[in-house]
Structure 1
Amino acid sequence: MVLKKRKNYFHFVLCRKRHSEDYCSMSGICGTRSDGKVVNCPYGSPAVKPDALLSSKIQSLCPTITGNVCCTEAQFDTLRTQVQQAIPFLVGCPACLRNFFNLFCELTCSPNQSLFINVTSVDNFGGNLTVGGIDYFVTDAFGEGLYESCKEMMQDVPQNRNGVRLSAVQGYMTNFYRKYGSYVARHPIMVLLSSLAVVLLLCLGLIRFKVETRPEKVLDLDPRASICLGK
């Protein structure tokens, strides 16, 4: 790899690219874009054996990844945060959700990453060299399998909405709770704080809470009623 500095940016000439098993196309996180998304380092390196903590974390989300990996702990934490955003939309189809997880687990942590990922360009963020462009190589069989596992869920949605399987009320409730669940998953802190605010607002009534011990005031007895009763 040869670096040539031209007008405050780096131009890369990739003299040699290695594509083999147990080898990574990217390694670690080297920068953050203006939209807050992190970008990986464009350095190829051998896959490494994770420590016990990272290995257990990877297994919890990516059970197909074993042995050496091509992701650091920071990369895996970023992966887990990103894929969790898709859970509210895919939770209705476990097969689609599992295949979705497996795809991004392989792209991020697979020890054979260099066999299906090729870094085509690099960028410079604050003096740090980061991945700019990537080519992904996915077989037709894999792409078709992923599509087939998710298409049935997408076909069920209009059937439910049109009342073929659900009544109008059930369809409305399904759509409402699907949107509500998506909102809660995206803004958990806001939902918790708003719920707490409502409870505190209702508790303001306790400020004027009093215990009344005079029955005549509670019953609001009319004095004329006592006369009629001969009292």
Structure 2
Amino acid sequence: MAVWAVCLVIIAAFASKAESRCSFHGQCGTYIGILGEVGVPCKTDMEPVPLNDTTAEQNLKKFCGDLWKAAPENQAGDKMFCCDSEQVSNLMSNLEIPGTLMSRCPTCYRNFREYTCQLTCSPKQSDFVLVTDYDNETNAIKSIDYALSRNYAYTTWDSCRGVKNPQTQESILQLMCGPYGTSCSYEELFHFMGDMANMQTPFSMNFLFLDSPVDPKTNLTHFDYEAANCSQPAKGEEYACSCIDCPLSCPLPPTFPEDLYRPFEISGVNGYYVVVGAGFVVYILVLAVVFAFSWLKTRSKFARGCELLYKIGGLENSG
């Protein structure tokens, strides 16, 4: 039993170590894009390390809350990540434009930045990121495979596609999807964000959208996150998106009882015909009564006139 216990401890230790590896870390080059100069990380195979930078730690707490909470700690109680303070600084810069575009829809922004936070700093980076090409001289990475849960990718896209650009009032997908335009799919959205042709990405990212947890070709485990739809507050957020940017947040039209839509009938006959017919009959009867009353009144006046003339004629004869 003691031997088995020792074996289990060793296996658990190796498993824990295998779960916490970095595919890249630090900076081994620079890339100049439309946002200016950013660092290109180094290919590596190492355990996560502490940031040792108060500002970087505060930024991760604020913008990457789930990542911060789940990060392992060393014996000194320091959180460990697969990034350094410079990478965190670059991450904050990369989130500025999306933050402006998505400011009216907190859920969209929360869903979107999660994949960026995890890519940059996750202590389990090697689980879902595979470096596929790098510079042999500088060790700077050139391209990666990034395994994502298809559901996460779709929900992130779906929560953002109704969001309007505050300046143009057009869908933000017009900017985020590049040549694919506002009608882009979730695959096209992530494809453009990982394409160096967008002049923002310092290395190429090939996104693998997985329906099952593990990709049989690369053996990568997909990164999954419980993304919320735009009508729900995301984790750590107080508000959902407004009706302007999220159709699901718009109030539903009032519902009426089914009886309201049943045809109006009287004894199996269309009720409107019965009502109109009855009204017509009443109208005729009223006309008849009015006519009869008028005729009787005229006749009475005529009779009195004749009687008066008769009396006048009698008086003249007697004179």
Normalization by structure 1: what TM-score? 0.55
1:113 CA drift (Å): 0.6
1:147 CA drift (Å): 1.5
2-side partners of 1:50 and 1:38: how far apart? 17
Which residue does the alignment assign to 2:228? none
2-side partners of 1:174 and 1:73: how far apart? 33
Matching of residue 78 in structure 1 with residue 86 in structure 2: no
Matching of residue 141 in structure 1 with residue 151 in structure 2: yes
Q: Output the amino acid matched with 1:87.
A: G
1-side partners of 2:45 and 2:167: how far apart? 47
Structure 1 residues 1-231: aligned runs within 5 Å? 20-35=18-33, 36-51=37-52, 53=54, 54-66=56-68, 67=71, 68-123=80-135, 127-153=137-163, 175=168
What is the percent sequence identity of the aligned residues? 28
1:175 CA drift (Å): 3.5
2-side partners of 1:72 and 1:131: how far apart? 16
Q: Output the amino acid matched with 1:61.
A: F
1-side partners of 2:30 and 2:132: how far apart? 19
**Is the 2:38–2:90 contact (alpha carbons within 8 Å) kept by the matching residues of 1?**
no
2-side partners of 1:89 and 1:116: how far apart? 28
> Would you say how many aligned residue pairs link Structure 1 and Structure 2?
142
* CA pair 32-45 structure 1, distance change in 2 beyond 3 A: same
SS of equivalent residue, structure 2 residue 43: coil
2-side partners of 1:136 and 1:120: how far apart? 10
Normalization by structure 2: what TM-score? 0.40
1:151 CA drift (Å): 2.3
Could you say what the CA RMSD is over the residues aligned between the two structures, in angstroms?
A: 2.8
2-side partners of 1:56 and 1:139: how far apart? 28
* CA pair 51-37 structure 1, distance change in 2 beyond 3 A: closer
1:129 CA drift (Å): 1.8
1:145 CA drift (Å): 1.6
SS of equivalent residue, structure 1 residue 102: helix
1:88 CA drift (Å): 2.0
Deviations 1:149-200 (A, max 9, x none): 112325xx7xxxxxxxxxxxxxxx9648xxxxxxxxxxxxxxxxxxxxxxxx
Q: Output the amino acid matched with 1:108.
A: T
SS of equivalent residue, structure 1 residue 128: coil
SS of equivalent residue, structure 1 residue 31: strand
1-side partners of 2:63 and 2:121: how far apart? 11
2-side partners of 1:86 and 1:34: how far apart? 19
